[in-house]
Structures are given as C-alpha cells and as structure tokens.
C-alpha cells in the first residue's frame, strides 16, 4: 500500500505537469526566466537557490553534527547525555514554521546587524560577500537550514558510531592511541554511515519549505552574493500554488514539484542504502 502510494504520487505529478513539460521541454530546467504574467516559466533560479542553500547548510552543519554525535556517544557522561539528547530530539521536532518565524524576527536582524557586516569587512573581497545587506537571503536561509538538519545528521552519526564495536576502540587504546585518535578511527570506520546521515540531512534541507520561504527573500534570481535574496523550489510552490492563475502556471509549479520529488527520492534512497549498509553489519 505504501509502496503503491509512492508510485501514485509520482504518476499523479507526472500527469499533472504534462502541459508544462510539453510547452518547455528540457529548457524548463535551464531557463532562468520565471514570469507568470507573460506565462514564461523556467526553473533554474529555484534549482540554483535550492542547491546553494542546501549545500551551504550541509557544509555548515556537518562538522557541528559530527562533533555533537561524538560528544553524545563518546564524551558526555550519562547524566549529561540523557537530557542533552532529549533537547536535540526536540530541536528536530520543532515545526519548521517556528524556525521560519524565529528566523525573520530574530535571526535575520541578527545576521543583518552582526554577522553579515563582519563577513563583508573581513572577506568582502570575495564575490560571495558583497552587495547590499538585507538580512534575509541565501546565507540566512542556509544558517537556518543548518540548525534544522543538525539534529538529523547527528542522530544518525550517533547510531552508526554505536554500531561500531567497543572492542575496536579498546584495541586502539591498547596500542597507545589518545582518546581523539580512537574516536577518529571509529569515525573513519563509520564514514559511509555518516555520509548517509549527511545525504539524508541534505534531502531534508532541499525539501524544507516554510522556514526557507520565510527567510530566503523570495526573488527569482541567480546572484553570486550570498547576501542577495533568492528562491527555492519548495518556496515557489508554497508561495504561488494557491493563487496561481493559469493552468500553465500550475502545471509548471507541479513540474518544479516533480523535479523536487525526483531529487529528494533519489537522495533519500541513496542515504538509506548507505545507512543500512553500516547498521546491518553490526
């Protein structure tokens, strides 16, 4: 039944996006022109926004996530571990709308006032950190996404670390390794599982809708600067779907959804296979 569901979902979206696919063909993916008034639709800005914000979020989140996982599984005493992992669970359970809300009212102003001017003054020679500072935009969205996917990646990293037998660590200690060296060895052994967790986090970031919609700035453009507002696939669907006028507009939005679905489907399958391959061995 659930298997069938996934097929029905993809079929439904495939059929509903027919009009747009017939109209624009593959050019849909490569055109950066999105104009509902003239009925011209190209998805490139959204694909760009999604990829950049998600990858950036992953880069920001991965080291922190691994650190948290190591902290939870290897370093923290039990009395700290239990409440701490509870808090991380909560972090994963907070609705994305609240992240977005907090993002516009608390985090974006903080970015505008502190982080972005700092980046501009120190790294301003790079094209990524130039231009007008809005507060909202790609970088802010990436930060929020990073916060949101950290619990996911760290939970999976912790699980795969747990699957590595204690004896391995003891063997490392017995050879005179320091604590970090022993941990490093465990991490290396678990790397495909951690990669799986990272890919899973990436998938989540790509599909995240509400929080991104609220902080990314919602402007269909491709700019080098991370301070500039951008748009993501999920956000454009969220913003325009309910009030889309023409059937071509709806169809195009569904095609964006189809791309999003395809990408997240592949990414999630990949992630699961990676994670299975590690945890099953244990």
User: What part of residues 190-249 is at the interface with other proteins (CB under 8 A)?
Assistant: 200, 203-204, 206-210, 214, 234, 237-238, 241-242
The answer to whether the Cα torsion of 182, 185, 190, 195 is positive or negative is: positive
In this complex, which beta carbon is closest to other proteins, that of residue 131 or of residue 177?
A: 177
Q: How far apart are CA 256 and CA 64, in angstroms?
A: 32
In this complex, which beta carbon is closest to other proteins, that of residue 225 or of residue 261?
A: 261
In this complex, which beta carbon is closest to other proteins, that of residue 126 or of residue 273?
A: 273
Would you count residue 13 as binding other proteins (CB under 8 A)?
yes
Letters for 64-93 (x = contact with other proteins by CB under 8 A, - = none) are xxxxx-xxx-xxx-------x-xxxxxx-x
Report, in Å, the least distance between residue 164 CB and other proteins.
Answer: 16
Report, in Å, the least distance between residue 115 CB and other proteins.
Answer: 14
Report, in Å, the least distance between residue 256 CB and other proteins.
Answer: 9
CA atoms within 13 A on the CB side of 112: 16
Site size with other proteins, rule: CB under 8 A: 79
Please, which of residues 246-275 interact with other proteins by CB under 8 A?
A: 253-254, 257, 260-261, 264-265, 267-269, 271-272
């Amino acid at each position: 039944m659930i298997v069938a569901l996934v097929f029905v979902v993809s079929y439904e979206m495939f059929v509903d996006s027919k009009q747009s696919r017939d109209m624009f063909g593959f050019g849909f993916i490569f055109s950066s022109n999105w104009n509902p008034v003239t009925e011209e639709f190209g998805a490139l800005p959204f694909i760009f926004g999604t990829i950049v914000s998600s990858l950036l979020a992953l880069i920001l989140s991965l080291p922190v996530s691994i650190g948290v996982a190591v902290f939870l599984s290897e370093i923290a005493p039990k009395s700290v571990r239990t409440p701490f992992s509870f808090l991380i669970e909560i972090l994963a359970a907070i609705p994305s709308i609240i992240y977005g809300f907090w993002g516009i009212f608390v985090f974006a102003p903080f970015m505008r006032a502190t982080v972005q001017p700092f980046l501009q003054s120190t790294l301003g020679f790079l094209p990524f950190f130039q231009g007008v500072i809005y507060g909202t935009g790609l970088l802010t969205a990436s930060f929020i996404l990073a916060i949101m996917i950290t619990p996911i990646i760290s939970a999976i990293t912790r699980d795969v670390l747990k699957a590595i037998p204690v004896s391995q660590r003891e063997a490392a200690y017995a050879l005179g390794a320091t604590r970090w060296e022993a941990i490093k060895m465990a991490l290396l052994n678990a790397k495909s599982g951690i990669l799986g967790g990272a890919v899973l986090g990436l998938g989540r970031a790509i599909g995240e809708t509400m929080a991104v919609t609220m902080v990314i700035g919602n402007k269909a453009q491709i700019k080098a600067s991370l301070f500039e507002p951008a748009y993501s696939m999920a956000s454009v669907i969220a913003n325009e779907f309910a009030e889309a006028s023409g059937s071509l507009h709806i169809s195009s939005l569904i095609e964006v959804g189809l791309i999003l679905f395809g990408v997240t489907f592949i990414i999630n399958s990949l992630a699961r296979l990676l994670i299975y391959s590690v945890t099953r061995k244990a």
